């Protein structure tokens, strides 16, 4: 199911015409409701005696009923733009109302499909941008980089509502903090989401449509290819940690994670532990958040992690180029 909102200057588009003391309304679905391919449409009519109610979809008459309840079943594409028109007729009196359901401002499903991250199993062709020695004084010149890596496999379905809320807040945080954020979703294949036009939780929720398995380690490694030149790097992994067949071992993934200097923050949705992922989180300078924890805790940890990246004195070496900021890694 996909939720849609019709917005115009911040207001819902919901059209209707009523006479004084008389009314007709489409009470289900309403703009913002979840839509189904097999959609139930409910119309209410007041004041008219035994009206005939006709329902049109996108200008075509689809159904009519001569007595209540005025409930109709229609088949349509829940992702597309639609306009419902209900007309009640009784003698020479007519009432009508419309409801408009626009397509998503960003077709997230299409965007996800269109922008694949290069599959990872061909290890020899993969080049990650290492966090090479950067002068300590130059650290502040770089924007922070966040990779938001979200597991959308079938096992994550029970956490859809909680994850939608957290991801929506994280996208808002990234906008307000002016950080470079790459959003990647994965099941058996990692895919990049263009989130620049994603404005509503409904759009975020629409990516949780997969029923496939998940390859966690391969998706993490592939996402590292998206890193830019900034040494201030954090990966936020939202997953239960269940890996269904990655080509990479945890050791191989660790070598790539180490070379990038990217701290791993794991939002673990399942109480069962993936010890290898937990170790990678801590060795990279990141941490694990157990279960669905408050956004305030995630935000404070992220801000603390980014602040930590701004303190090169903690982890610096002396070379011919002066003080260098090196990747943090605990063996």
Q: Which residue's entry shows tokens 């009206």?
A: 51
Residues pairing with 96 in the sheet:
17, 87
Nearest to 226 by CA among 312, 304, 128: 128
What is the pLDDT, as a whole number, of residue 116? 54
Residue spans of the chain under pLDDT 50: 1-21, 120-126, 310, 312-326
What is the pLDDT, as a whole number, of residue 320? 41
What is the pLDDT, as a whole number, of residue 9? 34
pLDDT (tens digit per residue) in 73-111: 999 988 788 999 999 998 888 999 999 988 765 556 556
d(CA 302, CA 23): 52
Phi, psi for 148 (deg, rounded to 5): -95, 110
pTM exceeds 0.95: no
Architecture of domain 108-325: 3-Layer(aba) Sandwich (3.40)
What is the pLDDT, as a whole number, of residue 80? 82
With contact defined as beta carbons under 8 Å apart, do 81 and 110 qualify?
no
What is the pLDDT, as a whole number, of residue 209? 73
With contact defined as beta carbons under 8 Å apart, do 130 and 225 qualify?
no
Nearest to 40 by CA among 32, 50, 30, 48: 30
CATH of domain 2-101: 2.60.40.10
Counting every residue, how long is the chain? 331
**Strand 263-268's sheet: what is its strand order?**
190-193, 180-186, 145-151, 233-239, 263-268, 287-290
Domain boundaries, the chain: 2-101, 108-325
What is the pLDDT, as a whole number, of residue 325? 44
d(CA 134, CA 310): 12
């Amino acid at each position: 199911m996909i939720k849609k909102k019709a917005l115009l200057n911040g207001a819902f588009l919901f059209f209707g015409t009523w006479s004084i003391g008389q009314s007709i309304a489409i009470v289900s679905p309403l703009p913002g409701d979840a839509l189904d391919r097999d959609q139930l449409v409910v119309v209410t009519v007041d004041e008219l005696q035994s009206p005939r109610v006709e329902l049109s979809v996108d200008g075509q008459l689809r159904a009519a009923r001569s007595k209540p309840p005025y409930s109709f079943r229609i088949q349509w594409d829940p992702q597309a733009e639609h306009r419902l028109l209900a007309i009640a007729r009784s003698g020479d009196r007519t009432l009508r109302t419309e409801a408009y359901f626009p397509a998503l401002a960003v077709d997230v499903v299409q965007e996800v499909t269109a922008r694949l991250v290069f599959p990872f199993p061909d290890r020899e062709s993969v080049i990650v941008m290492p966090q090479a020695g950067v002068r300590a004084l130059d650290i502040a010149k770089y924007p922070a980089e966040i990779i938001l890596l979200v597991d959308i496999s079938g096992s994550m379905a029970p956490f859809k509502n909680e994850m939608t809320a957290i991801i929506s807040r994280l996208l808002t945080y990234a906008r307000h903090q002016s950080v470079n954020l790459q959003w990647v979703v994965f099941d058996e294949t990692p895919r990049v989401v263009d989130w620049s036009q994603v404005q509503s939780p409904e759009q975020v929720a629409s990516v949780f449509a997969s029923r496939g398995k998940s390859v966690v380690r391969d998706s993490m490694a592939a996402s590292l290819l998206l890193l830019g030149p900034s040494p201030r790097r954090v990966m936020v992994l939202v997953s239960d940690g269940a890996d269904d067949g990655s080509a990479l071992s945890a050791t191989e993934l660790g070598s790539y994670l180490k070379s990038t200097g990217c701290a791993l923050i794991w939002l673990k949705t399942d109480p069962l532990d993936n010890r290898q992922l937990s170790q990678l989180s801590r060795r990279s300078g990141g941490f694990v958040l157990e279960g669905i924890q408050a956004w305030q805790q995630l935000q404070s940890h992220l801000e603390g992690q980014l602040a930590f990246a701004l303190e090169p004195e903690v982890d610096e070496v002396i070379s011919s180029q002066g003080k260098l900021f090196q990747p943090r890694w605990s063996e």
